[in-house]
Structure 1
Amino acid sequence: MKQTFIITITIALLVLQAVSADILPVGKKGYTRCTKIVNTEEFPDAYFISHLTGPMIQGHENSLIDSDECLYYGYKFNTLQILAVSRDYVNTVGIDNIEASDPEIMVSDEDSPPATGYNDEDSPIIKETTEYSIAGFSENGLILYKSR
């Protein structure tokens, strides 16, 4: 009986340590980040695609980027890449079959900020919006810059 109790307490302590990994530091509060690509309509021959990969995703998830909406990140350890693809190519192969390694694809080298963050508890910030604009294309990929 005593041995069972000790084993149960030991397992509970190990589980509690693993679960507390996402707890904010004392005196901090979380806030959301919204990242937008704001001028996609200036490039009518291209689709701009959010290409999401990560430990909780089998393969990848692709979605069209809408200038009015925040990019979706999902799990905090996911990686988000912004892709530019000709509309004809997407219409031929389908959005789900687009891979970042495809030679027909232009990939941005701009790092997207994570979807959440934290700051001091007394800070008035509850949401941060970052806007990126498309400057154009190069031989190596899609050129984005932080515009706001």
Structure 2
Amino acid sequence: MFSFLLVFQTSNADVIPQNSHYFEKRVKIINIDEFPDFSFIGYVKHPAGKPIKSYVINSKDYLHIDGYKFNILYIVAAKKNYLLNKNLDSLNWEKNKSFLKANIYIDTEGGYIDNDKPISYIEEYYKIVKLTKTRIVLFKCAEAIFNNDGSPYTFREFDYIEQSKSDIYPFKKDNRIVETYTSGTVFKFLFALLITIFIETLVLFLFFKTRYKKLNISNKLLLITGLVTSFSTLPYVWFVFPTFIQSRIPYIIICESFAILVESFLIYKLLKIEYKKALFISIICNLISFSIGLLINYIISSEYTFFYALKTLFE
């Protein structure tokens, strides 16, 4: 039996989770050209430690690990004049002090994801912040998620936060990339907040100046209620729930339910009306604001996709 096992290699296969599909990951370091005196090299190793290959990294090509998904990619750099006429595969880059080592591990492999997330592939963009005497300081600066259902892709940018020496772990998987909210995200949130306040306050005025006119709710109290309800729910919907809920449909259901319940309670308390009326008004307010939000998002996304397509066409 032992000799039989020596003849045949064992095979490795993924066990595909139920109701899931594979998504590809494409990773680039986009500003290598800003360091013209250095060559950046990817060394691919088998998990058992066996070297597989090495290649020069440039800004145009995606990083890759060639074959087995558990292969490990090590990113290093050295002066171009040092590498002149040298065979990359013969250099002991792990011990050679002429090589700078990356401060983080970059995962270039995709994986399986629930079918309710229509992700086709993800592009990750890394930047070199600086070169120290021993390190290539990298960080993930942006991410684009492309979908397989025809919907527009999403794009996020990340800011770099200075790391202390204790935060740098060369050649160890380090997923502790600090993601902060960029100014673009904050402006989008503020825009959404203003739109939500305007729509839901307008709906409150329409209700209490027509259907519930006999309740004699003052304009000032209606305005305060519109402000308080929106400020009490939207920040959670934008910044808290996405941290814990990744699937799109559950996210929408939970967030809208949360908004309706919290806002109905606030309307009930602030305006001192029956809770049934408060709940009904809250449902209508959120239904209208959600629908208009979808429409605005669709218009903006469609225009962005159109102009991006034109830009790509003429590049």
**Could you tell me which residue of structure 1 aligns to residue 71 of structure 2?**
78
Say which structure is richer in strand.
1
Q: Does residue 59 of the first structure (1) align with residue 51 of the second (2)?
A: yes
Q: Relative to 1, partners in 2 of residues 1:105 and 1:60: Cα closer, same or farther, differing over 3 Å?
A: farther
- Aligned-residue CA RMSD (Å): 2.1
**Could you tell me which residue of structure 1 aligns to residue 110 of structure 2?**
116
Amino acid at match of 1:36: K
1:37 to 20, 29, 35: 29
In 1, Cα distance between equivalents of 2:29 and 2:108: 15
**Could you tell me which residue of structure 2 aligns to residue 138 of structure 1?**
132
Question: Which protein, 1 or 2, shows the higher relative CO under an 8 Å CA cutoff with sep ≥ 6?
Answer: 1
**TM-score, with structure 2 as normaliser:** 0.39
Other structure's SS at 1:41 match: helix
Deviations, residues 66-93 of structure 1 (Å, cap 9, x unaligned): 2111111121111101111110111142
Aligned length: 131
2:100 to 91, 103, 106: 106
- What stretches of structure 2 of length at least 5 have no aligned partner? 1-9, 143-315
In 2, Cα distance between equivalents of 1:33 and 1:92: 33
**TM-score, with structure 1 as normaliser:** 0.79
**Contact 1:50-1:64 within 8 A present in 2 as well:** yes
TM-superposed CA distance for 1:99, in Å, is 3.0
1:91 to 78, 84, 92: 84
Identity between Structure 1 and Structure 2 (%):
27
TM-superposed CA distance for 1:21, in Å, is 4.7
- What stretches of structure 1 of length at least 5 have no aligned partner? 1-17
Other structure's SS at 2:119 match: coil
Say which structure is richer in helix.
2
Amino acid at match of 2:113: N
In 1, Cα distance between equivalents of 2:130 and 2:26: 22
Larger Cα-atom Rg: 2
Q: Relative to 1, partners in 2 of residues 1:20 and 1:55: Cα closer, same or farther, differing over 3 Å?
A: closer
